[in-house]
Amino acid sequence: MGILFVVTDTKRKSLVFVVDTGEVLSLHKMAEAAKNRLFEGIYAVTGTSGTYIRSAPDKTTKNNIDFLSVTGPHLAAIAQGHAKSTPAVGAYVERYLEFKGGPPYLKPVGSFRIPRIVVKKVFESHVPTIIKATAEFNVDRYTLGAIIIDEIARLDPFEPIYEKLSSGIIGRNTSVGVAQVTLETANHLIKAGVYHPHSKDTRLPIRSAINNTDRKILYEYVVQPKYGIRFAAANLRFIIDVWMPYVDLSKRPEILGTLYSKGSGTPNAHPESSERGKQIAGEFYKLAKLWLRAK
C-alpha cells in the first residue's frame, strides 16, 4: 500500500492518512500500520507531545509525507473552490470516484465532480430538517435546498476525512457541516439574535475575538445537521433583511447563493451573481424542487 495524501491540523501535525486503496486511516491506525511495516519508508515516532508519523530520510520528494500533506482548513478551502487543488488531493478524488460510481455527475463551480446519486442520497436524509428550517426562518426552501446540494457535492468526497479530523479541521473561517457554515458566521448570527442553537448554553455567543478554543464550542453545534441547516436558513434570513432597504432578495436565488458563499457583502441596489450563484439558481434549484417535492 501507498499513501495518497495526508491531512494535518493547523500546526502541521499529521492526523488523517488516505491510502491508495481508498481507505482513510486515523493517526492511531496509521501508527499501528507503521509499526507493523505495512508502508515502506514510513515510521511512527512517540515524543512528549504524542505520536507522529514520519517519512524515512531517503524517501523521494514525491513520496514524502510533507509533500503529500495539506492542512484541514486548506482542504476545506480546496473543496469550496477557494484554493487550488494539489496532485495528491486530485489523486484521492479520482480514487474516491472509482468506488462511488459513475455518471451522471454534478460538478460544482471550481470543485470536483461527484455522482448525482450520491448527492441525492445525502440530501434526502436532510429533507425534513430543510423544510422545518425554511418554515422557521421564512425563506424559500428551494433556495436553501439548492445551496445545500452545492455544499453536499463539494463536501462529499472529503466527508470520511472530516469525520476523522473532527475539530482538527478548525481554523479561521473554516466551514463546517452539511451546510458548510463558518463558525464566525454562526457566532455572528447568535450575537445578532437571529438564531441560537441552545439558549441555555451561556458560553454562546462568544463576544470577544474568537480563538480556536472558542471555535470548538461552536463546532459541536454547527457540525450537527439539525443545527447547521438552521444556521444556514438563519443566514439567508439575515442576508435578506440586511439587503431589504436596497433590494428584495427573497426571490433572487442567484444572489443569495452568491452571498451565502462569499459573505453578506455590502448592500446595494444592483447586486451581481457569481458563476456559483448562477449554478445554484439554475441546475441545483431545479434539483431541489425535484427532490423536495418528492417528499
* Higher-scoring residue by pLDDT: 214, 140: 140
Q: Which of 100, 118, 149 is the last residue of a domain?
A: 100
Q: In this predicted structure, what is the pLDDT of residue 2? A: 82
Give the single-character DSSP code of 49.
T
Neighbours of 167 (CB within 10 A): 16
Please check the confidence at residue 63 and state whether its pLDDT lies above 70.
Answer: no
Structural domain count of the chain: 2
* Statement to judge: residues 45 and 168 lie in one domain: no
Q: Do residues 204 and 154 share a domain?
A: yes
Q: Which three cell numbers stand for residue 17?
A: 492518512
Using H for helix, E for strand and C for coil, what is the string for 222-239? HCCHHHHHHHHHHHHHHH
Residue 248's CATH number:
1.10.530
pLDDT range class, residue 74, cuts 50, 70, 90? confident
End residue of a domain, out of 39, 69, 100? 100
Q: What is the pLDDT of residues 157-201, one digit of tens each?
A: 998 888 887 766 666 677 889 999 999 999 999 999 999 999 999
Entry pTM: 0.90
For residues 128 and 143, membership in a common domain is answered with yes
For cell 496532485, name the residue: 87
Same-domain status, 11 and 58: yes
Q: What pLDDT does residue 171 have?
A: 65
Q: Show the DSSP H helices in 5-140 as ranges.
A: 27-35, 65-68, 72-79, 87-100, 116-125, 127-137
Q: Are residue 109 and residue 85 in the same domain, yes or no?
A: no
Q: Is there a single domain that holds both residue 82 and residue 113?
A: no
